[in-house]
Amino acid sequence: MAVQLSENEIIRRAQKGDERAFTQLVKTYEDLVYSFAFKVCRDSDKASETWQDTFVNVYRKLHQFDGRSKFTTWLYSIVTNNCRMKRRQRKLDKASVSIDATTALSDHPVVDEEGHTIQTIPSWKETPLDTVMDKELQGVLDEAIQQLPFDYRVVFVLRDIEGLSAQEAGKVLKLSVPAVKSRLRRARVFLRERLNPYMTA
């Protein structure tokens, strides 16, 4: 009967040059790495190159992984660095716009005769999330996140899409927890503002 090895044991064996163990690691994480690279790079060519470079880096540097962080944290760091380098090399990203361009909620909202706040911020239209997303909405989402500066985009993807904690995201990006929180807040507001015209049209 085949023995189920723990991830630590697979990593340990791969570090010693066991090819089967390394292949197992690639197979376990190939989808996670590609999916994350695609979300961060926002370009299939760059995601493909990043995916390949990441596993080549893992192959060469696995002995440096000391197990003090999660293996996925280490992988996310390599993907982020590779994607950042591709961005510098090709300068393909669209010019990122100011992160602070937001609709301010006013200190002095409009009130009715009885002092109740009148809603001046329109509610968003209902969007069924369980059906296949239409191409127009997909295009709006793509354009908005491409305009988000790279470092903010990575924080948003790690925290809100990949589900990492602020501490884990901080380890990936070598940022303090308050810095992660601040970037996440601004990224969320930025994306919300970009989607607002479409979602209230």
Interface with other proteins (CB under 8 A): 19, 22-23, 26, 30-31, 33-35, 38-39, 44, 47-48, 51-52, 55-56, 59, 104-107, 109, 116-124, 127, 129, 133, 137-138, 141, 145, 156, 160-161, 181-182, 184-185, 188-189, 191-192, 195-196, 199
Q: How many CA atoms lie within 13 A of 162 on its CB side?
A: 27
Residue corresponding to tokens 């690639």: 26
Considering beta carbons, is residue 12 or 29 the nearer one to other proteins? 29
- Output the smallest distance, CB 71 to other proteins, in A: 18
The CA-based angle 126-128-131, given to 5 degrees, is: 165
Considering beta carbons, is residue 13 or 188 the nearer one to other proteins? 188
- Output the smallest distance, CB 181 to other proteins, in A: 5
SS3 of residue 21 by DSSP: helix
- Output the smallest distance, CB 75 to other proteins, in A: 14
Residue-wise burial string across 110-136, b where 16 or more C-beta atoms lie within 10 A, e elsewhere: eeeeeeeeeeeeeeeeeeeeeeeeeee
